[in-house]
Amino acid sequence: MHLTCSTTSILIILLMKIFAVGMNYKEHNKELHEPLSKTTSPVIFIMPDSALSKDHKPFFIPDDLGVIEYETEVVVRICRLGKTISSRFAHRYYDAVTVGIDFTARELQQQLRAKGLPWELCKSFDGAATIGDWMDIDKFQDIQRLQFHLDVNGSTVQKGFTGDMFYKIDELIAYISRYFTLKTGDLLFTGTPAGVGPVHIDDHLEGYLEDYKVLDFNCK
């Protein structure tokens, strides 16, 4: 079967993997007391498709996972099959970008990290990966020089610039594709800058990519 960027949404859902990058911004690492440097390999984890929330649907805050914090991130969409991709060709493998929220059960994450355990329970629960509307990457001159931010209840709470990433998007795609075959419809959450914080019932979240509002939903 030949897969293209125009593959139907039903087929994409069946094939989709969600990759996420942890600790990819220096200032965020400082607020988590993690002195991670560029000499360390990217921190990669995977979410199931049940973690995905889109189309501006509300986020239902779990009542049994403790404090849930937002982590605003740039998300890219993979548009073709690829394995062991070179960084210089990685730009050919994604076609769209948006802003997403990687919701994190922070207290649970701290417990898991203290024990050296995986992060999936605190990062990959149902609805934890919220994404906004997709924008064609051709709308932007350089995907690695994008400003993005999150507003909660009308106030800006988190700002980011993709140029501040430890590992750039093309580097991440090259690294991930050494271990996993990338397929049309896979998503890549590229990491969050500093400024994460808790969400509460009735919070209204709006995410912006440059001046475009691509994310708009409520917490329930």
Question: What pLDDT score was predicted for residue 1?
Answer: 42
**In a domain? residue 1:** no
Question: What pLDDT score was predicted for residue 38?
Answer: 58
Given a contact cutoff of 8 angstroms between Cβ atoms, the answer to whether 78 and 93 are in contact is: yes
* Residue of 183, 172, 202, 212 lying closest to 25 (CA atoms): 172
Distance CA 206, CA 116 (A): 34
Say which CATH number the domain at 194 has.
Answer: 3.90.850.10
The tens digit of pLDDT for each residue in 183-215 reads 999 999 999 999 999 999 999 999 999 999 999
Residue 107: its H or E element: helix 106-114
As beta bridge partners, residue 85 has: none
Mean pLDDT for 52-80 is: 97
DSSP at 57: P
Given a contact cutoff of 8 angstroms between Cβ atoms, the answer to whether 156 and 162 are in contact is: no
Distance CA 87, CA 168 (A): 10
**In a domain? residue 148:** yes
Q: Is the pLDDT of residue 4 over 60?
A: no
Distance CA 152, CA 54 (A): 18
0.85 exceeded by the pTM? yes
Domain count for the chain: 1
Question: What pLDDT score was predicted for residue 27?
Answer: 75
Question: What pLDDT score was predicted for residue 10?
Answer: 45
**In a domain? residue 111:** yes
**In a domain? residue 132:** yes
Burial track 8-17 (b if 16+ CB lie within 10 A, e otherwise): eeeebeeebb
As a whole-number percent, the residues of the chain with pLDDT over 70 amount to: 88
Domain containing 124: what range?
18-54+68-219
Mean pLDDT for 168-180 is: 97
Mean pLDDT for 122-137 is: 97
CA 219 to chain centre: 18
Average per-residue pLDDT in the chain? 91
Mean pLDDT for 104-124 is: 92
CA 171 to chain centre: 15
Question: What pLDDT score was predicted for residue 134?
Answer: 98
**In a domain? residue 179:** yes
Q: Comparing 29 with 6, which gets the higher pLDDT?
A: 29
**In a domain? residue 11:** no
**In a domain? residue 38:** yes
Tokens of 213: 């509002």
Question: What pLDDT score was predicted for residue 34?
Answer: 65
